[in-house]
Amino acid sequence: MTGISVSFGGVTALSDVSLTVEPGQVHGLIGPNGAGKTTLFNVACGLVRPTQGRIVWRGEELRRLKPKQLTRLGISRTLQGVGLFRGLTVLENVMVGAHRHAKAGFFSALFAVPTADRDEARLRARALAALDELDATAYAGRYPDSLPYPVQKRVALARALVVEPELLLLDEPASGLSEDEMHDLGDLIRALSGRMSVLLVEHHMDLVMRVCDRITVLDSGEQIAAGTPAEVQADPAVTEAYLGDEVEVGAGADGREG
């Protein structure tokens, strides 16, 4: 993404931001609340159309990127919540993720599951493999509502992986996870980077610093720093942007959750 600007009405959410996710790298996108992270993520998903700027994928400019084109382009995403279909089992939810025409709607999702037996068997096998990678095979026949939130998040990730994307977009994948679960998620993201690129929007700094190859820092819609985790951590502009947040982190150490 090059020179991306987005304004909502009169509000400038992003101003001339550029970010490139290199093949096989984990690229972190961080910044204080309201920095524009989700807006940039949504630009990458085709959910928000930039006012200015270019999106280039595999050397080709995507002029009218739409969410439903993502899978065909080799891009998968998970959203900030979970977004599983309540009326489908875990296995069916993951199988739906493999369908290139799968849309965000229960009925279109249901009809998107191919009917040819051979396709269905192959799809089922791929979905089970994706669940296995997320240690979630045991939940294949369950309905999402009956499962703890962290398990639902793993299922949502399995659904994003079932198409074997070249680029995986993750918005706050660690939210609601325990320290141990977050650590496992970090290991998983590192392992995935062996076969795909990852754009990681996340506010858990230790996770970001541990798993990312490169990091872009936004503040008030502007790009204030970019580089390796060490470079970004040493950048005074980043420390300054996070000053308010650091005070909160300190308060949390006294026993209060942030």
Ligand X SMILES: Nc1ncnc2c1ncn2[C@@H]1O[C@H](COP(=O)(O)OP(=O)(O)O)[C@@H](O)[C@H]1O
Amino acid at 33: N
Cα distance between residue 96 and residue 101, in whole Å: 9
- CB within 8 Å of 241: residues ≥ 6 apart: 31, 32, 35, 217, 219, 224
Residues 8-37 that bind ligand X (CB under 6 A): 8, 11, 13, 31, 33-37
Supply 69's token pair.
């084109």
Least Å from the CB of residue 232 to ligand X: 16
Q: In terms of CB distance, is 92 or 202 closer to Mg ion? A: 202
CB-based contact 212:200 (threshold 8 Å): yes
State the binding partner of 13 from Mg ion, ligand X, none, CB within 5 to 8 A by kind: ligand X
**69 to each of 47, 75, 77, 123, 131, how far by Cα in Å?**
11, 9, 12, 20, 24
Please work out the total of residues on this chain that contact Mg ion, with binding judged by CB under 5 A: 2
Q: In terms of CB distance, is 2 or 12 closer to ligand X? A: 12
Segment near ligand X (CB under 6 A); pick from 6-14, 110-118, 154-162, 228-236: 6-14
Least Å from the CB of residue 7 to ligand X: 9
Supply 137's token pair.
């095979």
CB-based contact 35:219 (threshold 8 Å): yes
CA proximity to 235, closest of 212, 207, 208, 215: 215
State the binding partner of 8 from ligand X, Mg ion, none, CB within 5 to 8 A by kind: ligand X
Strands 56-57 and 60-61: antiparallel
Least Å from the CB of residue 34 to ligand X: 4
Residues 219-258 that bind Mg ion (CB under 5 A): none
State the binding partner of 28 from ligand X, Mg ion, none, CB within 5 to 8 A by kind: none
Least Å from the CB of residue 44 to ligand X: 12
Please work out the total of residues on this chain that contact ligand X, with binding judged by CB under 6 A: 11
Residue in the structure block whose two tokens are 């995403």: 77
- CB within 8 Å of 78: residues ≥ 6 apart: 153, 156, 157, 159, 160, 169, 170, 171, 173
Q: In terms of CB distance, is 45 or 136 closer to ligand X? A: 45
Segment near ligand X (CB under 6 A); pick from 7-15, 149-157, 209-217, 236-244: 7-15
Choose, by CB under 6 A, the member of 4, 15, 19, 39 that binds ligand X.
39
Choose, by CB under 6 A, the member of 15, 38, 76, 223 that binds ligand X.
38
Residues 28-47 that bind Mg ion (CB under 5 A): 37-38
Least Å from the CB of residue 41 to ligand X: 8
Distinct helix (H) and strand (E) counts, the chain: 11, 11
- In the complex, the residues that contact ligand X under the rule CB under 6 A are 8, 11, 13, 31, 33-39
- In the complex, the residues that contact Mg ion under the rule CB under 5 A are 37-38
